[in-house]
Every structure is written in C-alpha cells, then in structure tokens.
Structure 1
Amino acid sequence: MGRNVLGYAFSCRRVQKTDVPFPQRKGCKRISNWKNKMLSAAGREILIKSVAQAIPAFCMNCFKILNSLCHDIDSVIAQFWWSGNNMTQKIHWKNWKSMCVSKFLDGMGFRDTKSFNLAMLAKQGWKLQLQVPTLAYKVLKERYFHTTDFLNALIGTNPSYLWRSIRESQQLIRIWRVSELIDQRTMTWNDVKITEIFPTYERELILSIPLSYRHPNDKQVWFFNRHGHYSVKSGYRMAQSLLDLQVAESSSCNMMAFWKRIWHLELPRKVILFLWKTLNGILPTRQALIYRSIISENNCPSCDNELETDFHCLCCCPLARAVSNFSKWGFTNIEIFQGKSFEPLQIIELAGNLLEQDRLVKGVRSRRRILQINRTCEWRAPVESKLNVDASIFELSSVRRMGVGFIVRNAIGEVELAGVRRMVMGQSVEEAELSALAWSLRCCQRENIMVKEIEMDCKMVVEWIKGRHLSGILSPIVEDCLNLMESINCVDILHCSREGNEVAHMIAKKAKEIREEAIAWFNIFSNAGGFLTSYH
C-alpha cells in the first residue's frame, strides 16, 4: 500500500519515477518564476544552492532517488544556471560533472544529486552502526540484522524500500580495523609490519597518528571529520570520490591555494564569476562559437582585425578589454544581439557605477568585521606554578617534522622544568599541539612537578580539553590529557596569544637542533637564563 508523506508518494515494496515528482516539479516552479529571469549569474548561484538543491533534501534523507530522476533534477538546474530559466536552451560551456567539483578545485561547488543522496542515507546508516537506541534502530535491528551489525547486514527477504535505500550507504561508511598494526605490549605502532605492508608515504602518515598510553577499548569514529562524528558534508566528499566526480589532478595544494585567493577577493560576485570563466576558458568568444559550429564569422566585432579569442579580447583589442574589465562582457553582447552601441563616455559612466557598487560592497563587509580587542602580549605570572606548551613545525631532509617544547615556571617566574623533543608530524596543527600537551604533562608527572594551570596558543585544543566531548580519532589523547592533568593537580587550561607563549615556542624550535626523539631537560637552558627571563 502506498503512503503520501509531505507530498511524496512511496510504495513500501518498490519505487517508481512517478512516485517522486514533487522535488522536480517544485524546483522547476521555483526557478521558472519571472523574477528569477532578472538575476545575474551570482544571484542564480545563490538561488540554486539555497532553494533548488535544498528542496529534495527531505526525500533524500530516507530514500534512494532513482538515477534517472537525479539526472532530471541536475538537468533542470544546469539549464537554469546557463540560461536564466529552464525553458530556453542555451550553450552549456562546462559539463555538470565538473561544475559539481569544489570551488577550490576550479568548479562551482554545486551538489551532485546522486552523491548528496548517498551522503544523506549514510547519515542514517552511521546512526544504525553506532547502535543509537532509537525506535527506528530497534525495529530495523530486529527485522534485518538481529545477529550482526549494520555494516555486515544482508538485504534480507522481502525488504522494504526504506531498508534497501539505507543499506546502499554501506559502501560509504565501511570501517576497517587497525588493531593488527599496533604492538599490544608497548602500545605503539608496529613499525616492522607497517613498513612491510604500506609504501613510505602512507607509513609516515600512519606513524604520525598518536596512540593512547592507557590501552582504551576500541571504538568507531568517522575518520574524515576531526570531531569523529559523521557529517553529510564529509560524506558527500567521500561519495564524490566513490562516483569518480572529484578531479584528482586538480587537487594539488598550489591549485587549491590559487582558487581560494580568487574566490576570496573583495570584488563584486559577478566580477569574480567573470574571472572564473576566463580562467576556465569558457568565455563566449567567436573562436569558441566557431568550435561549436554555431557561427561562421571569426573576426572581432569591435575592431574587425583579428580572430576573437580570449587573449585578444582581454589583452589586444582596446574596446573589448575595457568592456570586459568594467562590465562583465555586457557591452559587446548588447551590441551584437540588441543592435545597440556605446560611446566611450557611456562606458566610463557605467564603469564608474560598477566601481561605486564595489565600494558599497567593501563598505558593508568592513562594517561587519568584528573589532579585535587588544589583549596583553606579555607572560602573566600565576598564583602558583604554570605550564606553557607549544609545537613548532619544520622540514628536515624534505620531511615534515614537529618540535614540542614546554616550560614550567612558578609565581615569581623561576623555571622549575623545561623540555624539548622532536616528533613525527601529525595530520594537522591541532594534532601537533595536542601531542605536545600530552607529552609535556607526562614529563611533569614523571618528574613529580605539580602544575595549577596550563597556557597554550591553540584555541581549538583548549576547547577540546574544556569541552570533554571530542569523539574523533584524537579523543583518546584528549582523555589522556585530562587524566594527566588530574594526576598533577592541574585545575585549568587557558588560551593565550602567541606573544604570551613565546618562550615555549622558542624552546619547541630548538627541536631542530637535537637528534631524533631526544629529550632535553632544564640543563640545556642553563646558559640561557637571560633569554628565559626576558619574556617574564
């Protein structure tokens, strides 16, 4: 028997394309509104991401949408993006697959409907795998995987479409166990076994993952999120990889940094989009139109001297260059398709209006900025002893390493203990700072140094320690730090500025001068009393 839920008609046994016309029909109605035809490309981008691609979200949260329907939804959105409405057929200068790539990888960051559907379903599957005692979990557990867990569950006999949909996400959240790579005696990574199995690069990444000294029980975390919780955003990235939608060759750090700078420019959005089209080579020049067999004339309509190419329009033809710089190709298109021409003074006037719009945009952004409160940059003496800790990242023989340093001082600034060590660089700066904190606390515990408070300049780690709710891959190290803080009677951890933590930072930088995994204590700083006291 079919059910109708918020406009969606689903059968318990099977689903057909006619069962879910609502998202497509609703989306078409939204984007075909007459007011939407007046939107610029920047406005269409916002409408697509905030409305058109958000409408099917409820349906995709529990049911797998047919591939044909996903294709239809993507087609309607793509047609609206390139033409301004879904009725007129216009040239699609870039295929939809590349448009769904991240903005930082030369795409537009639109959602691929099929990948997003899989990521939404994986959220339900992740809850089932964590065995959250909800009513839905109890019903599905008894019906489909009574003797096993979700990841090992079979399709079963006479399954509902809801179960078949959620089970599709198993491929996305499949988990492998790594306990076989850990030496259970020393609770460290088994370097010999890892070297035999993995290449050098992956070996370095595995060895950089910190392990707890307390031998805690294994638990399941989502590796692609620092908090360990599954998120649709991280799941969507994984789904794109599974469906081969992410462009591997464009994912270099240099290209990502380049595109980030482009999209973060303080310019009107339409100017940035014009720059994006230029860098992707999809400007509607006559050379591009001839390549698609749309026109036969190839000379520039402004100067009629050379072939109209991207380079000619932006660098050679004076009028076209002025037009493209100041009005997003608008003057040339109006002259060609509407028979209107512009005098130079009119171009200058319209360019001035665009410049004024740019100033208004920058003015609004500047007013929205939060004023920074002046903080003290000097080290603050504690009531009792205080620990300052920091990590420093450097390259050694083309390999990233990190140095960790700490210093314990009393109420009058006298040094009680200090240490430095070189370690394998972790996956992130936060992981390096957390490892530095854990090592410094173990040193204080071993030397029987009682510390009342801790200061460090990594705000994220301070929030992790104070929040006590991190459940990701670093959660065992956070728990280690909490236990160690309790053992040395530490009652608080505070965030400070980089300037207020300068001594610990300078000590951490000394790790580059000592040999691998060496530990140095206060005697290494005995000849640097002036250096230590200069920051009191």
Structure 2
Amino acid sequence: MARVLKGKYFADRDFLGAELGSNPSYTWRSIWEAKDVILLGARRRIGDGWSTKVWLDPWIPNTQSRRVLSPRHHNNASMKVADLMTNDRTSWDDELLRGMFLPFEQDRIKAIRICDAQAVDDWCWDHTKDGQYSVKTAYHLLTGGEDAAEQSDWARSKWMWKVEVRAERVREWVEGVLREGSEEERMVFSLTCWAIWECRNAAIFEGRGRFCEVVTRRVYDMLREINDTLGGRKGVGEAASSTRNARSVELDVGLGGREGGSAGGGRWRRPGEGVVKINTDAGVIEGVGTGLGVVARTHGDSFAWAVTMQERLTFDVKRAEAEAIFLGMKEVRSRGHTRIIVESDCWSVIKDLQDKKKGRADIFRIYDDILSLCNSFISLVFSFVRRESNCVAHLVAHSSPWIVGRRFWSDEAPQHIVEAISNDINNMI
C-alpha cells in the first residue's frame, strides 16, 4: 500500500512535501490530513542544504516553531539553506546572516554543524533523543503534554470577544481589541491573526486545511519563542564534562588489534610504543561560549602538542564533547599518525561510538564524521576515563584568556598545563 500511495501521490518527493492532489482517494486523504500533526514536531536536519528552503521549511533547531521569523523583505522565496554558506561549504556566511536574520536566529543558524562527510538534508523529530518519530511523543505534543495547562490559559481565552466596541467594520473592531488589550493579549491576538491567515493561504493555494489544534499550537509556539527571546537565556554555566561513569571501556574501530588501554583509577596511563594518545574534553560556559581541548602524548614524550578551539556559541554538553573528539582526530590525522588512542571523560559519547549508534538527531551528524575518520587510521581505540585522568585536556579546553578561534602549542605549553602534565607523570601507571 505504501508503495502504491508514494507512486501515485508523491513519487518525486517525501511524504511531508506531498500535496493532496486533484482527485485523492479516501485512504490518501485520511493519511494526508495527519501531515500537519507530524509537522508540529518535525524539522529539516541540514546536510548539504540544497533541499531545504530558508523561508518555507522548518529547519532552525532549538526554537519553538523551527521556522524563520525574520521578515523576508525582497529575498527569494525559494532560497536554499546552502545559499547561506560560504562558497567552500565549510562555514556559514556571517555577513549574509547579519543582513537577513534576527540576532537570536543568527545564533541558532551558526550553531548548526556543517558536516564534513557527504550528507543530504533529511527530516528529524525534535521530541525524541534519537530524532526518530514516535506516536507517544506526537500524542503528547498534540494534546499539549506538560504545557497543556499553560497553553489553555490563553488558547481558551475569550477576552477579545468581550471588548465593548461598537464596530460596523472589522477594522474598527480590531483597533478596539488592540487598544483595550494588555501587551501580552495584543501579541496573542496578532499572532493568532497571522496563524489564521497562514492557514487560509494553505487552504486556498495548497488545498490543505489544518486542525484547529494545529493552528493554536502554532500560535503558542511562536509566543513562547518570542518570550524566550525577549527574556534572554537562562541557566548557569557548567563544564561540559558531565555524564560520568566509574566504568572503563575500549572500542577498537580500526583495522588492527586492540591498542593501549583505558586509564585505571584516577591516574593517566602512558601509551605503547608507536601509539599517540589524545585526551579530549570540552567546557560549556553560559554567556561565554564553548571551549574544546585536546592534548597529545606519546610513549616517549610527556607532551607532544595541545590544541584548543573556543567559540562564542554555547553547544549542548554531548555535542561539545563529540566536537572535541573530532577536533583531536583531525589534528592527529594531519600529522600522519596511524595508531592512536582517544580518551574522553564523557561516557555517553564513548558508548554511542562503541555501538556505532545511528539516529536522526543532530548529534548523529557528528558521530558520522567521527566514524568516517576512523578509516584514516590503522588502529584506533576509544576509551572512557575518569575526570581525574583527564585534567590536562580539561585545562586546555578552559584556557584563559578566552580567545575565540584556534590556538596550538607544540614546543612549550602554558605553565598551568605544564604543571598538570607533571602531575600526570608523577602519578602515572
């Protein structure tokens, strides 16, 4: 049945981009009507950016609506996300973003990772950890879930209909509503009108109606997004070295045998001959940014090199830790080493890499890049270590002063890092 429906109604596109058609069957109409429910939590996951439209598709993560709220002005309606990248497709075009988007949207866009591996845009579900759609989360999303009470405070409000305004025309009535309502009520009214107009256009020009719940949810999401933006970011900064575990695990993903081992207890362990060991860590400080730290050592050298990359953007903890691993592996590969041990104190990332875990959440884009790098090495071990065995990488990630960009040390490290390395040597296994 699925193949028949796809061949007839959306042979050249995915389901979420399908149209109702001129003479739809009862089965197809019933399935198609549920598309708006899926779109409540679906988002385009950016790969190369060529199949996602900037102004029409939901693609901005960590926002309520996932769509662009900035005014389009004279920009091309069919503009693709790839057009927002630099010519070499390695970063976002900062100047272009500043000229087109609101500040908070600029930050969200620049936080989207541009993949190293070849990847195309696809759909993900924002309400599960692995990005895969589930009926359970869709039900909670549609019924309001934990936000149901908050949503009902305004969604069922009838204040605007009780405004005592003698109006012979709709314009006068609207002016009366905007004049009599509070600031929040005026905002809700304006967003509701916008959502109704958007629904009207979808019905007339695309032939698809929407459930009332979908329209009210759209208004609610936009309202929360605006309130979050006006209220600023909340939370206290914390180091990204969370999700600790006392266990130790190795993962050999290369072509050779197992190398080295995981650090025991709270002490660092010297790698075997011919092996480079890199310790990685990340620090996320709210209001400051994200720092990545990598330190490399060999069997004969207490210190080979270290590198830090500090950003103004704040990543989530798991992404930051994975980015630190990716940074370290790229640095090692650029120096021609083929036998390495990668140590991190983030158990969840190490475990995911061990399982070669797949999914549609954004974190899996980083995992794909990391695992594709594994082919560059003859032998590679991922190893979880306790925080005490990873102190040097932690200091590198939090290097002061905080300078946006990349810093590299090969001959002589800063004094506080040298002292931490000496402490590792003195307590070495």
CA distance, structure 1, for counterparts of residue 322 and residue 291 of structure 2: 12
Q: Structure 2 matches for 1:125-204, cutoff 5 A?
A: 136-156=1-21, 157=23, 159-160=25-26, 162-174=27-39, 175=43, 177=52, 178-204=81-107
Match of 1:516? Answer: 404
Structure 1 unmatched ranges of 5 or more? 1-135, 251-370
Counterparts in 2 of 1:484 and 1:186: CA distance versus 1, 3 Å: same
Q: Which amino acid aligns with 2:388?
A: E
1:158–1:522 distance in 2 versus 1, CA, 3 Å? closer
Q: Which has the higher contact order (CA 8 A, sep 6+)?
A: 2
Kept after mapping to 2: 8 A contact 1:387/1:451 = no
1:232 aligned partner: 135
Name the SS for the 1:406 alignment partner: strand
- Return the alpha-carbon distance in structure 2 between the equivalents of residues 418 and 478 of structure 1: 22
Q: Which structure would you say has the larger Rg?
A: 1
Does the CA contact (< 8 Å) of 2:296 and 2:303 recur in 1?
yes
- Contact 1:390–1:457, Cα closer than 8 Å, also in 2: yes
| Residue in 1 that maps onto 2:284 | 393
* SS state at 1:493 partner: strand
Cα deviation 1:111-151 (Å, max 9, x = unaligned): xxxxxxxxxxxxxxxxxxxxxxxxx3213223443454322
Q: How far apart, in 2, do the equivalents of 1:167 and 1:246 lie?
A: 29
Structure 1 residues 149 and 514: CA distance shift in structure 2, 3 A: closer
Which of the residues 465, 477, 480 maps onto 2:366? 477
What SS does structure 2 have at the residue aligned with 1:405? Answer: strand
The within-5 A match list for 1:351-366 is: none
Q: Is the 8 A contact 1:187 1:215 kept in 2?
A: no
Q: 2:317 aligns with which of 426, 429, 433?
A: 429
Residue 172 of structure 1: CA displacement? 3.5
- Which ranges of structure 2 fall in alignment gaps of 5 or more residues? 45-51, 53-80, 154-244, 249-263
Work out which of the residue numbers 495, 498, 501 in structure 1 matches 2:384.
Answer: 495
> Aligned partner of 2:298: which letter?
N
For residues 190 and 460 of structure 1, the distance between their equivalents in structure 2, rounded to whole angstroms, comes to 33
Note the alpha carbon deviations across 1:159-190, whole angstroms, 9 max, x for none.
Answer: 22x43332223224445523332224242112
Instruction: Please give the residue correspondences for 1:311-390 in structure 2 after superposition, counting only pairs within 5 Å.
Output: 376-383=265-272, 384-390=275-281
Cα 1:518–1:149 change in 2 (3 A) is closer
- 1:526, distance to aligned residue in structure 2 (A): 5.6
The TM-score normalised by the length of structure 1 is 0.46
Cα distance between partner residues in 1 of 2:102 and 2:90 = 22
CA displacement, residues 427-478 of structure 1 (integer Å, 9 cap, x when unaligned)? 4100111111111222222233444211101122112322223233233322
Three-state SS of the structure 2 residue aligned to 1:220 is strand
**Matching residue within 108, 111, 114 for 1:205:** 108
Give distance in 2, aligned partners of 1:442 and 1:533.
26
Q: Is the counterpart of residue 452 in structure 1 residue 318 in structure 2? A: no
For the aligned residues, what is the CA RMSD? 3.2
What secondary structure is seen at the aligned counterpart in 2 of 1:203? helix
Indicate how the Cα distance of structure 1 residues 204 and 469 shifts in structure 2: closer, same or farther if over 3 A, else same.
same
Letter in 2 for 1:159: S
- State how far apart, in whole Å, the 2-side matches of 1:209 and 1:479 are: 15
Q: Which residue of 2 aligns with 1:468?
A: 356
Q: Deviations over 1:51-103 (max 9, x none)?
A: xxxxxxxxxxxxxxxxxxxxxxxxxxxxxxxxxxxxxxxxxxxxxxxxxxxxx
Q: Relative to 1, partners in 2 of residues 1:237 and 1:189: Cα closer, same or farther, differing over 3 Å?
A: farther
CA shift, 1:230, in A, is 1.7
Q: 1:415 — aligned with what? A: 303
Structure 1 residues 439, 248: closer, same or farther in 2, change over 3 A? farther
